[in-house]
Amino acid sequence: MAHQETDPSEGSLSIESDWGVQYVDGEWLDRGDRDGIEVVDPSTREPAATVPAGTSDDIDRAFEAAAAAQPEWADTPPHRRASVLRGFVDAVDDYFEDFVALLTAESGSTATKAKFEVMTAKGMAQEAASLPTRLSGEYRDSLIAGKDNQVKRVPAGVVAVITPWNFPLSLAVRAVAPALALGNAVVLKPAPATPVSGGLALARLFEESGLDPGLLNVVTGRDDEIGDPVSGHAEADVVAFTGSTEVGTRVGKRAVDSMALPALELGGNAPFVVLADADLDRAVDAAVYGTVYHSGQACISINRHLVHESLVDEYVDRLTDRLEALPAGSAHDEDTVVGPLVDERQRDSVLGFVEDTVDAGAALETGGEPVATEDLDADESLVVAPTVLSGVTNDMPAACDEHFGPVAPVIAFADDDEAVELANDTEYGLAAAVFGGDLGRAEGVADRVDAGMVHVNDQPINEEPHVPFGGTKASGIGRYNGEAALREFTEPKWVSVQREPRRYPF
């Protein structure tokens, strides 16, 4: 790759800027003879940008730069590392609207979702800025006279970060910011659909914040071409991945084969349990949000609505009425609530789950079809109408699979025990929610649900920068955020000091 004389995106973070670059060792390197990856706006299905298709050689250069820069950064005083993170927080504020526009153009984020995501990313960076001075160790008494035992936390080294397209900014910041704050260097591979908001724009902001060269390297590329070189690189000490369980299993195996720690946040199948004594108005309010936020393209979206049999008919009627009233269309329309799915493959997958579930005996109450927009007719549109399916059982396709769309399969249950049994009858264990009038009873049910995160009298789409985020079973390994990040991106080091002469037996 050739060197760019100036930052290619200088002046703004517009999707219309020249993003035909990688960011390695503090330099913007142009595409050269590399293939290009076309970024497509899901609302219009028109090209929005072109980025380089990185190669395994590019990945090697990025890891070499990271490994060379990391030791000095690890020895940098914590206040200096914190200052860089605070500068990044300020930069997110400065470019707030730019990021909103990027997320709309790349991931089809509606205005509400895009703004929430930028605010979430800012909060995560603020939390990360506090980590350098929160890193601490332990003193342990020794079994040997005159010896002190110190257990320190030291940076892991080089962190590989592989991020998805659905929340490209916040999920990149969630890993990159704490990794840097704790003295690591990072190689970031953003999703091919969202390489700017999930990667190159972050490099721009960290550069402005004074991050030293080599500590953050961003290589764009196709998953099938550079995914394995990133996840299995010999210089990686931690591999942080967010995405599907199928891909995450491969990533985790490659990381372990290279003796790197896998930090995996994978798929979900979130149950939304509505108990017999639930406030139905509040439950339906939460259900609407938890079903269609970002058109259901979240691993913690409601995937199954488990509703007590005494409430299920009214619940279905109310949910159907509410979802039919939501504005669906282009993400560029400020009034849109339900925007496009990311691409045609995702749209067809969601519609296939709906069709197969109806074929299996469920009733289609509303939705189940594409919605025409100002730019595209229904056949071309990636917007799927919010969908309600009644009479669903736990083994039907839209319920047992992670459908990843604005679809609400509703399953009736007879009592709390059956609700728990249904909720846990999945390979996943990421997020869940329980609605009930008696909080003690609802908390009791929540305690029996096998998931890493369970929310009582709320829906499952929640993330707070200081609270551990992650799942059980096939939903991943490890946790993100707050104190959990201290454990994921550092490792314990035992240092003993023999302060008095020690006698040995020979």
- What tens digit of pLDDT does each residue of 110-152 get? 999 999 999 999 999 999 999 999 999 999 999 999 999 999 9
CA–CA gap between residue 295 and residue 166 (Å, rounded): 10
pLDDT at 12: 76
Six-digit token pair at 376?
A: 């595209």
Kindly report, residue by residue over 384-436, the tens digit of the pLDDT. Answer: 999 999 999 999 999 999 999 999 999 999 999 999 999 999 999 999 999 99
Report residue 238: phi and psi, to 5°.
-135, 140
CA–CA gap between residue 336 and residue 96 (Å, rounded): 20
CB 366 within 8 A of CB 384: no
Six-digit token pair at 500?
A: 């008095």
Which amino acid appears at position 427 of this protein? E
Rounded mean pLDDT, 168-183: 98
Q: Determine how many CB atoms are found less than 10 A away from the CB of residue 6.
A: 7
Rounded mean pLDDT, 258-281: 98
Indicate if the pLDDT at residue 5 is higher than 50.
Answer: no
Q: Which residues are catalytic?
A: 265, 299
Provide the 3-class DSSP secondary structure of residue 440.
Answer: helix
pLDDT tier for residue 2 given thresholds of 50, 70 and 90? very low
pLDDT tier for residue 4 given thresholds of 50, 70 and 90? very low
Six-digit token pair at 59?
A: 């990945």
Indicate if the pLDDT at residue 242 is higher than 90.
Answer: yes
Six-digit token pair at 313?
A: 């008919």
CB 47 within 8 A of CB 39: yes
CB 470 within 8 A of CB 484: yes
Indicate if the pLDDT at residue 9 is higher than 70.
Answer: no
- CA 350 to chain CA centroid, Å, is 20
pLDDT at 11: 59
**Domain extent listing, the chain:** 23-266+475-493, 270-456
pLDDT tier for residue 10 given thresholds of 50, 70 and 90? low
CA–CA gap between residue 114 and residue 120 (Å, rounded): 10
Going by C-alpha positions, the residue among 410, 292, 316, 306 that lies closest to residue 357 is 410
Six-digit token pair at 365?
A: 């109450």
Rounded mean pLDDT, 187-202: 98
Task: Indicate the fold that domain 270-456 takes in CATH.
Answer: Aldehyde Dehydrogenase; Chain A, domain 2 (3.40.309)
- CATH of 23-266+475-493 given 1.20.210.10, 3.40.605.10, 3.40.50.300, 3.40.50.1860: 3.40.605.10
How far CA 226 is from CA of 148, 190, 191, in Å, comes to 46, 11, 11
> Which residues touch 175 (CB under 8 Å, ≥6 apart)?
159, 161, 163, 186, 240, 242, 263, 480
CB 369 within 8 A of CB 66: no
pTM of the model: 0.96
Indicate if the pLDDT at residue 6 is higher than 60.
Answer: no
Kindly report, residue by residue over 444-503, the tens digit of the pLDDT. Answer: 999 999 999 999 999 999 999 999 999 999 999 999 999 999 999 999 999 999 999 999
Kindly report, residue by residue over 207-227, the tens digit of the pLDDT. Answer: 999 999 999 999 999 999 999
Task: For residue 252, count CB atoms less than 10 angstroms from its CB and return exposed for 0-12, middle for 13-18, buried for 19 or more.
Answer: buried
Reported as half-sphere exposure (CB side, CA atoms, 13 A), residue 200 has a value of: 34
Kindly report, residue by residue over 309-349, the tens digit of the pLDDT. Answer: 999 999 999 999 999 999 999 999 999 999 999 999 999 99
Indicate if the pLDDT at residue 240 is higher than 80.
Answer: yes
Rounded mean pLDDT, 165-180: 98
pLDDT at 160: 98
